Amino acid sequence: MEDTGHKLRNGPMMSSMSFRSQNTRNSPSSLLRQDGKECSRLLKVAPNVYHALKHGNAVVALESTIISHGMPYPQNLETAKEVEAIVKQNGAIPATIAVLDGVPCIGLDDEQLERLAKLGSNVRKTARRDIPHVIAAHENGATTVSATMFFASKVGIPVFVTGGIGGVHRHGEQTMDISSDLTELGRTPVAVISAGVKSILDIPKTLEYLETQGVTVAAYRTNDFPAFFTESSGCQVPCRLDSPEECARLINANLNVRLGSGMLIAVPIPKEHAAYGHFIESAITRALKEANDKQVTGNAATPFLLSRVNELTGGASLAANIALVKNNAYIGAKIAVALASLRRSPLRSAI
């Protein structure tokens, strides 16, 4: 069966289909090509994602770790499809990103989503550092925030929706356990729409680290930085945004001045689910103690903590997690549409 995907090659040979006729600010990477022939060592871009990028339409990148490691099958598949549907219903094209058989894929079809969901934790959790190994070994990889940002940037997707990003772990000043999500935000020009930082982390230190990395941090319709399961972490943000259009203008300015860094737009969990916040926080405290007693560290820490918190809360944390991801997808799609419209406008300013 002929592969109809579109590819991105990191090399000097370019497809004759360059996008010079398009506004280059709207276009995907000039390396994006439409040959559909080779499979290995290339980024495969789904046809609908390719065409949206070509015409400067709104695209929203989505990670795949939430599918493989975030929840059990079939709930993970149902949630993935529902999130993609929300993005579509609000005018954008969803591009779930994963590595399948060693090939980075930008945009998955239903069959690929189901395959990923059924494999679950048998899929390698893939951050930036893991990308070469997963590709070289022809493995399947579920992309974390850092890897998803990397691939999204390669094809020119400026907006990425996730649940919550990683950060500085509690006692990080001793363990140096700091998520690569933070350094990726410092060097990759993608706007991440999330419910802030997971509350299992040290949020003040995470925000300090983001400042060091030069990352713009904003909050949506609030002055308080959200803490994933709760609406506020007690930390103030330097930038408040009250509409998708304001978010789009901020992202557009970042891209136009070519800072090279990304930005974090934090969206509070919906109020009806935030009511469980304090209950969930007490479960987190207990789970953190158990993780310490069992010496669970590194990239195993977050999956352990989230799973244990879900057990302790009788599923309330998972329900809240799903709700906030869907809410982020809704707002992220609105932002992506506003950004695409802004970048197509001949009247927009240089900055």
Domain borders along the chain are 6-188+271-344
For residue 32, the cross-strand partners are 8
* pLDDT tens digits along 146-155: 999 999 999 9
Percentage of the chain lying above the pLDDT 90 cut: 64
pLDDT value at residue 15: 31
Is 125 one of the catalytic residues? no
pLDDT value at residue 229: 86
From 7, 44, 54, 198, the catalytic residue: 198
Give me the helix-helix angle, 277-293 and 316-344, nearest 10°.
110
> Which has more confidence, 346 or 307?
307
Pairing verdict, β 191-194 and 159-161:
parallel
Is 326 one of the catalytic residues? no
Q: What is the average per-residue pLDDT within 89-110?
A: 97
CA-to-CA dists, residue 3 to 15, 51, 62, 244, 262, angstroms: 17, 16, 22, 36, 33
Q: What is the average per-residue pLDDT within 6-13?
A: 42
Mean pLDDT taken over the chain: 86
pLDDT-derived band at 78, boundaries 50, 70, 90? very high
- Do residues 167 and 203 make contact, with C-beta atoms less than 8 angstroms apart? yes
* pLDDT tens digits along 279-321: 887 888 898 889 888 988 776 777 788 788 888 988 888 888 8
Percentage of the chain lying above the pLDDT 70 cut: 86
Q: Which residue, 305, 311, 317, is CA-closest to 280? A: 317
Tokens of 105: 């894929």
pLDDT-derived band at 232, boundaries 50, 70, 90? confident
pLDDT-derived band at 20, boundaries 50, 70, 90? very low
From 7, 44, 54, 63, the catalytic residue: 63
pLDDT value at residue 169: 82
Indicate if the pLDDT at residue 136 is higher than 80. Answer: yes
Q: What is the average per-residue pLDDT within 243-270?
A: 97
2: buried, middle or exposed (CB in 10 Å: 19+, 13-18, 0-12)? exposed
The whole-angstrom separation of Cα 116 and Cα 73 is: 10
> 34-38, 122-126, 228-232, 269-273: which range is least confident on average?
34-38
Which homologous superfamily does the CATH classification assign to the domain defined by 6-188+271-344?
Answer: Indigoidine synthase domain (3.40.1790.10)
Amino acid, single-letter form, for residue 16: S
Report CA Rg, the chain. 19
- Do residues 225 and 216 make contact, with C-beta atoms less than 8 angstroms apart? no
Amino acid, single-letter form, for residue 273: H
Write the CB contacts of 205 (distance below 8 Å, at least 6 apart in sequence).
167, 168, 172, 173
Indicate if the pLDDT at residue 104 is higher than 50. Answer: yes
pLDDT-derived band at 2, boundaries 50, 70, 90? very low
Residue 293 CB-half CA count within 13 A: 6
Indicate if the pLDDT at residue 259 is higher than 90. Answer: yes
